Amino acid sequence: MSGAFRPYKGKWVIKEHTLKANEGVVEAGDMIQVTSGGITVELATSTATAIIGISVEGLAVDAVNTQTIRVLEPLSTECEFIGPVTDGAIAAGRTDSGRSCDLEDHEGVDPDTDTHHSLTIISGTIATADGATTAGEGIFRIAQTLDKLNSF
């Protein structure tokens, strides 16, 4: 699978979901969340309230119809994934380990933002400084999976 996010540890399962109409282009490796209505899914945002997993496939925009999309979902909150840090700073190693943070968008993480507590930092694999033009990379866990939504 190419793309931004990829599974690293733990057991992941592929499930089919209904992507909302007119969602935009989805690429394999994009982070996916449940829509506010809870019936369909969409590209994850910085305000994600229930991240379900990583898109397995790319889909073109369908302005009118919903589409079926396959998503890699963690079987537990212990599952880890690798993803780019596209905003904010992360140190290489375990300096930032245990901190919660949010997505920047469906293609990257912002370790400096922690409004929604969507992700947990496990470690930094490629360091990046705040405001750097090159992306960093880290290992993360989804803290706010669909089954845990009511505990936040």
Same domain, 10 and 43: yes
Same domain, 36 and 65: yes
- The Cα–Cα gap between 25 and 68 comes to 13
- The Cα–Cα gap between 15 and 56 comes to 10
How many domains is the chain built from? Answer: 2
Radius of gyration of the chain (CA): 14
In which band, very low, low, confident or very high, does the pLDDT at 2 lie, cut at 50, 70 and 90? very low
Provide the residue range defining the domain that includes 114.
80-151
pLDDT at 50: 87
Is pTM beyond 0.85? Reply is yes
3-state secondary structure of 119: strand
Out of 39, 74, 109, pick the residue that ends a domain: 74
24-61: pLDDT as tens digits: 899 999 999 998 888 899 999 998 878 999 999 999 99
In which band, very low, low, confident or very high, does the pLDDT at 146 lie, cut at 50, 70 and 90? low
Same domain, 69 and 87: no
Same domain, 70 and 84: no
Same domain, 89 and 117: yes
Length of the chain as a residue count: 152
74-93: pLDDT as tens digits: 998 899 999 999 999 999 99
Same domain, 118 and 68: no
CA-nearest of 147, 8, 17, 139 to 71 is 17
Predicted confidence (pLDDT) at residue 126 exceeds the cutoff of 80: yes
